[in-house]
Structure 1
Amino acid sequence: MSGFSNVVRFVVKEGSENDFLEVFKTFSKEEGEIYSFLVQTGDREYVAVGTWESEDALVNARPSLIGNLDKMRDFLEEISPDLGVTDPRSGNIIMEWN
């Protein structure tokens, strides 16, 4: 398996869940993006997962992804002073199973 993935954790401000989800629905697939999905992991906690053709594809999409974040930033709680409103991770996909 080859490819690249990113995972981003968000904590939504109380009462802003619907606004957050409505903004998220407006996002479109980026060039080089294979598949993405949003998981609700807690009452107001969500994790977005994206799979990409390559690390370069993700890097090239970053300006657009940051623009998407800016559209929902007001609905997000600060996770920590170091992280801000997102807890992102990314790396090579090393294994896949069905």
Structure 2
Amino acid sequence: MAENKAKPAVRVEMSGIERLGLRVSSMINHPVAQTQRWVTIHRLDTDGDREWEEVMGLLSETDGIDMTFNHDESVTLKWEASADEDRVIEVDSTEEVEEVAPF
């Protein structure tokens, strides 16, 4: 009888810049941030100088984002609604509207 030998799972560690980029992206894309069109990103003790500067540099090069560097080393990002977000979509109230699942 053949034995099933499972290969051990290989865990790939994320780099500091990947981890910070993912955190910042999640904060920007959060529904509350998207509604209010601003978010404050706090620098964590685990965020290295090089990683922080790299991500802040990328954000500063992004069109449509205003950055405010706060005294507590946090950064507040603000942006305007895109043209697509400004459109008003009218829905005929007699039509049944399917609710989108939150996941």
For the superposition of Structure 1 and Structure 2, which TM-score range results when normalised by the shorter chain? 0.3 to 0.5
Higher relative strand content: 1
Larger Rg: 2
TM-score by length of 2: 0.34
